[in-house]
């Protein structure tokens, strides 16, 4: 499976069940070590980032095995507090294990997580949150040595609503004596899912989804089963694909509310969208209009992870759309690849202007990062001819089997 080959020009029709959310299951997998027992995760997506997390869990002494569609973790025999460089480098978000290891053992030894394709990925807010809880963090030569001793609950004010820092603070606070209050917490739905998991194993966490999260640490935990929430960015990907290609699709296992800024943009572009209890349907004639400026922001604003994807859907729209990427420094790496297909996009720092063109042309392109790769798939569906997408390992970090899903919706796509 080294390339995804897509023949453009087909309308999309059909029904697809959306996979579990990568950005929920990764912190949940770290959270499993807080309970010295067994947890069963239903609806866990089979992603390379999940496999990387499984390798870390096994390195720490846990059992982590697939049982059919379920991922079963047993953290009873956790016996290490270090995550070596090779495992840390496999997945940048492995820093999320820091808070969980500290909560369980009081010690943690991780190598500094690498940067990534989106630009520098500092963890200063993670570390300042842990220091507030009394953790002694020594940063020496690319290594983080953390000694928590007896963490004490405190008020932690985040200078910006970082998703990862919020999650690390919540996890560490589960091991702190007394109450921790996280102020200016990120409000993403994935953090609500983490709270749901922690409460399922017996932790006392409340307020996730709001800017203030409260944790009462050192609770007795117990075995539990948990179903991972659906992936709102994967849902946004296939809605954008149908919007651009034209057609009528229904996505199942989607929480419509978590997608509202994306569906609002697609509606403004000319799609008909209806939301059910846990479904969302979209109908499009494939002739889209440009939309008002799209400015990415922390939830509930427009998700930065959907920026490239919506951009790809609008490449042939009437008019021009302005994108402002406020979250990451370097999140337009997909633009050069889209230009190879005939897109008209101009960039000035964090602003991109997409001017609709009459045609796109299939071309050999490379996935530059996870969501940039997804954007290439969306663009390929509306291009004339064949598009060959390589470096698909980026895409497989967050999409279980994009060819399977696109074919389910009627696209002409295959692996090669
Ligand atoms: C999470 O990354 C997601 N990853 C990202 O999804 C998502 O794009 C991002 O949140 C924003 O929604 C996972 O959940 C695994 P942040 P995270 O901390 O936690 C700066 C995808 O495509 N910052 O909210 O790393 C940071 O540089 C991925 O699925 C600091 O300055 O995001 C960035 O500019 C990509 N210091 C901004 O905050 C810190 O200590 C937001 O980062 C932490 C972050």
Residue numbers annotated as active site: 116
Atom 39 of ligand 1 has which residue's CA nearest to it?
A: 123
**Is the confidence at residue 92, as pLDDT, over 90?**
no
Q: What is the pLDDT of residue 1?
A: 62
Q: What is the pLDDT of residue 112?
A: 83
The total of other beta-carbon atoms located within 10 Å of residue 69's CB is: 11
Q: What is the pLDDT of residue 277?
A: 87
Q: Please tell me if the CB atom of residue 164 comes closer than 6 angstroms to any atom of ligand 1.
A: yes
Q: What is the pLDDT of residue 149?
A: 80
Pocket test for ligand 1, best of 22, 23, 128, 373 (most atoms within 8 A of CB): 23
Query: Per-residue pLDDT tens for 40-82?
Result: 999 999 999 999 999 999 999 999 999 988 999 999 999 999 9
Peptide bond preceding 362 in cis form (omega within 30 of 0): no
Residue 275 CA to residue 279 CA, distance in Å, equals 6
Q: Please tell me if the CB atom of residue 160 comes closer than 6 angstroms to any atom of ligand 1.
A: yes
- Residue 153: both structure tokens together: 């609950």
Q: What is the pLDDT of residue 295?
A: 98
Mean pLDDT of 150-158: 96
- Residue 94: both structure tokens together: 């492995």
Q: Write down the H helix ranges in 246-387.
A: 260-268, 307-313, 334-340, 370-381
Q: How confident is the model at residue 14 (pLDDT cuts 50, 70, 90)?
A: very high
The atom of ligand 1 lying closest to the CA of 298 is 12
**Is the confidence at residue 369, as pLDDT, over 70?**
yes
Q: Please tell me if the CB atom of residue 398 comes closer than 6 angstroms to any atom of ligand 1.
A: yes
Query: Per-residue pLDDT tens for 116-128?
Result: 677 777 899 999 9
Query: Half-sphere exposure of residue 283, counting CA atoms within 13 Å on the CB side?
Result: 2
The atom of ligand 1 lying closest to the CA of 370 is 22
Specify the pTM.
0.97
Atom 28 of ligand 1 has which residue's CA nearest to it?
A: 305
Ligand 1 center from residue 236 Cα (angstroms): 18
Atom 3 of ligand 1 has which residue's CA nearest to it?
A: 23
Across 138-152, 333-347, 373-387, 402-416, least confident range: 138-152
Query: Per-residue pLDDT tens for 262-315?
Result: 999 999 999 999 998 899 999 999 999 999 999 999 999 999 999 999 999 999
Q: What is the pLDDT of residue 50?
A: 97
Query: Per-residue pLDDT tens for 314-356?
Result: 999 999 999 999 999 889 999 999 999 999 999 999 999 999 9
Q: Please tell me if the CB atom of residue 305 comes closer than 6 angstroms to any atom of ligand 1.
A: yes
Q: Please tell me if the CB atom of residue 36 comes closer than 6 angstroms to any atom of ligand 1.
A: no
Q: Please tell me if the CB atom of residue 406 comes closer than 6 angstroms to any atom of ligand 1.
A: no
Q: What is the pLDDT of residue 142?
A: 85
Q: What is the pLDDT of residue 184?
A: 98
Cross-sheet strand order for the sheet of 4-7:
364-366, 386-390, 4-7, 412-415
Q: What is the pLDDT of residue 113?
A: 80
Whole-number average pLDDT of the chain: 96
The total of other beta-carbon atoms located within 10 Å of residue 285's CB is: 12
Whose CA is closest to 413, among 249, 402, 283? Answer: 402
Mean pLDDT of 106-116: 84
The atom of ligand 1 lying closest to the CA of 167 is 19
Q: How confident is the model at residue 114 (pLDDT cuts 50, 70, 90)?
A: low
Q: Please tell me if the CB atom of residue 125 comes closer than 6 angstroms to any atom of ligand 1.
A: yes
Ligand 1 center from residue 291 Cα (angstroms): 26
Ligand 1 center from residue 96 Cα (angstroms): 11
Between helices 370-381 and 232-245, what is the axis angle to 10°?
20
Atom 15 of ligand 1 has which residue's CA nearest to it?
A: 23
**Is the confidence at residue 165, as pLDDT, over 80?**
yes
């Amino acid at each position: 499976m080294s390339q995804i080959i897509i023949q453009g020009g087909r309308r999309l029709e059909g029904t697809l069940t959306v996979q579990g959310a990568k950005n929920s299951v990764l912190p949940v997998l770290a959270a499993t070590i807080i309970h010295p027992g067994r947890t069963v995760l239903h609806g866990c997506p089979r992603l390379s980032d999940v496999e990387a997390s499984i390798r870390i869990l096994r390195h720490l002494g846990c059992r982590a095995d697939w049982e059919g569609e379920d991922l079963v973790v047993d953290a009873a025999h956790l016996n290490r507090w270090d995550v070596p460089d090779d495992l840390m480098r496999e997945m940048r978000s492995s820093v999320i294990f820091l808070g969980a290891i500290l909560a369980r053992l009081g010690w943690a030894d991780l190598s500094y997580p690498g940067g990534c394709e989106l630009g520098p990925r500092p963890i200063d807010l993670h570390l300042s949150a842990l220091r507030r809880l009394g953790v002694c963090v020594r940063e020496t030569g690319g290594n983080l040595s953390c000694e928590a001793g007896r963490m004490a609950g405190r008020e932690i004010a985040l200078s910006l609503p970082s998703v990862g820092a919020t999650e690390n603070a919540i996890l560490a606070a589960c091991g702190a004596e007394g109450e921790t209050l996280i102020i200016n917490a990120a409000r993403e739905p994935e953090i609500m899912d983490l709270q749901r998991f922690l409460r399922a194993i017996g932790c006392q966490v409340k307020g996730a989804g709001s800017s203030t999260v409260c944790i009462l640490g050192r609770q007795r935990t117990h075995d539990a089963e948990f179903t991972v929430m659906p992936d709102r960015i994967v849902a946004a990907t296939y809605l954008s694909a149908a919007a651009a290609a034209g057609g009528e699709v229904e996505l199942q296992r989607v929480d419509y509310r978590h997608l509202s800024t994306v569906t609002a943009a697609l509606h403004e572009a000319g799609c008909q969208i209806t939301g059910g209890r846990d479904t969302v349907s979209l109908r499009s004639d494939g002739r889209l209009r440009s939309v008002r400026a799209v400015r990415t922001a922390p939830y509930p604003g427009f998700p930065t992870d959907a920026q490239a994807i919506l951009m790809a859907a609008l490449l042939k729209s009437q008019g021009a759309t302005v994108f402002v990427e406020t979250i990451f420094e370097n999140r337009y790496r997909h633009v050069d690849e889209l230009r190879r297909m005939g897109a008209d996009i101009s960039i000035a720092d964090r602003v991109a202007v997409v001017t609709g063109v009459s045609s796109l042309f299939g071309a050999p392109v490379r996935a530059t990062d996870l969501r940039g790769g997804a954007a290439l798939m969306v663009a390929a569906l509306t291009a004339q001819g064949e598009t060959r997408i390589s470096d698909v390992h980026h895409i497989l970090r967050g999409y279980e089997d994009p060819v399977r899903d696109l074919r389910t919706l009627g696209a002409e796509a295959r692996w090669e």
